[in-house]
Structure 1
């Protein structure tokens, strides 16, 4: 990794390939989801809850059933109305930087110059000829903001879900035919019965904070497992 602060002098001619493919890190069967994108993501993907290596809860979109399988990825790119923000951000990230010692840290865009999307000859320009940000870089900035805000919300959100005992383990077993079946291990979801039973202070707190909708979006997203199975069956038929 060669991450540097992005600027319109050193990187005036830098380009970024914005299409999706295995070569760019899109060949994954799960990807991180942030609360700030649940509304859009729940229309496309099953949203599952997992524990990261530290034991903290995080949300993921289930993209495939086999290892490194993304059923939303095809020859034409990403086949869905919404692409998760982590997969859209490409070589970019946000880091906090102080302009002066002791000053207030500001989020600044950094770019990994070793990322396979970075190019000098093809892809989207980052800066206009006059030095301003291109429309593509503006969209990247919005995506990074969505990720930054989502990371800030995720911890308190899962803490609230735990406090009200809304998180429960779930067994996902998918049977495609007599000889092919899949199990998705060590995943959790929001218990719909416990969510519907909330009253009083708990219900008011989750509603006022917007977390009630986030929980409902997780529950509603589970219907997308049927679409995932259909995608898997179509992929198997194409390969037969």
Structure 2
């Protein structure tokens, strides 16, 4: 059960965060949320798909990590085997919260860092320190702040991007089917992607508006990311051989 509190350097002066990865930290997941603000990094490592949120019905971006809900093919020996880790994972036990603050005489809801004290990564004896002995932020916390800012911005960009993609009817459903043999096959449903055909058919004005908003590049990055499906399947092959004791 989560226990979110606002981070501060008095109550949490000795707080540390375990930064290795593994099933014990909930990292054995087949998909993870991603955002347009990190597409450039994500598409180099993972296939990017869309799915609909179960509650709101709105589209979300996801990076595919495995072929099953509880399978993360990028996990190995406590490490994440990729050059880029999606922000929603890299943020660890931290999240954005909001607090009313007086800014030049005006009351505003400003984003502040919160921490989940019940997160299994939280420690007082091992891991990366959050604060310096004198109370200042460590480099680790500065990096977390940048990651959280990217997520915060990405949420807003994502909503506008999907509205634009929907208006131009660019989103289409896709079934991902991977078959190793008659007994072992995977069928991933409920996923969506960009229709290359409809993207090619857009007129100059539509392309200009998408490009001006920065969404055209996002569409191309999503399409390009699908080349990583071969990489993911190769990783699954290696995992199967390892489990079978085959070099």
Cα displacement (A) at 1:99: 2.2
Cα displacement (A) at 1:172: 1.2
Partner residue of 2:82?
80
Partner residue of 2:44?
43
Q: Distance in 2 between matches of 1:208 and 1:104?
A: 30
- Match status 1:28 vs 2:29: yes
- Match status 1:121 vs 2:125: yes
Secondary structure at the counterpart of residue 105 of structure 1:
strand
Partner residue of 1:57?
59
Cα displacement (A) at 1:179: 2.8
Q: Distance in 2 between matches of 1:156 and 1:99?
A: 27
Q: Distance in 1 between matches of 2:68 and 2:168?
A: 34
Q: Alpha-carbon deviations, 1:18-43, whole Å to 9, x = none?
A: 11111111110001011111110001
Secondary structure at the counterpart of residue 173 of structure 2:
strand
Partner residue of 2:134?
130
Partner residue of 1:228?
232
Q: Distance in 2 between matches of 1:8 and 1:208?
A: 42
1:171-210 matches, within 5 Å, as 171-210=175-214
* Deviation larger for 172-181 or 107-116: 172-181
Q: Alpha-carbon deviations, 1:32-65, whole Å to 9, x = none?
A: 0111111100011110110011210001011111
Q: Distance in 2 between matches of 1:45 and 1:192?
A: 19
* Deviation larger for 179-188 or 137-146: 179-188
Secondary structure at the counterpart of residue 45 of structure 2:
coil
Aligned partners of 2:52 and 2:58 also within 8 Å: yes
Cα displacement (A) at 1:103: 0.5
Partner residue of 1:70?
72
Q: Distance in 1 between matches of 2:196 and 2:223?
A: 7
Cα displacement (A) at 1:66: 2.1
- Match status 1:94 vs 2:96: yes
Q: Distance in 2 between matches of 1:62 and 1:186?
A: 13
Over 6 Å off, 4+ runs = none
Q: Alpha-carbon deviations, 1:107-128, whole Å to 9, x = none?
A: 1001111110000000000111
* Deviation larger for 178-187 or 98-107: 98-107
Partner residue of 1:238?
242
Secondary structure at the counterpart of residue 115 of structure 1:
coil
Q: Distance in 2 between matches of 1:179 and 1:129?
A: 57
Secondary structure at the counterpart of residue 227 of structure 2:
helix
Q: Distance in 1 between matches of 2:221 and 2:215?
A: 10
Partner residue of 2:107?
103
Q: So what's the TM-score if we normalise by structure 2?
A: 0.94
Cα displacement (A) at 1:102: 6.8
Structure 2 residues not aligned, in runs of 5+ = none
Q: Distance in 2 between matches of 1:225 and 1:13?
A: 42
Cα displacement (A) at 1:129: 1.5
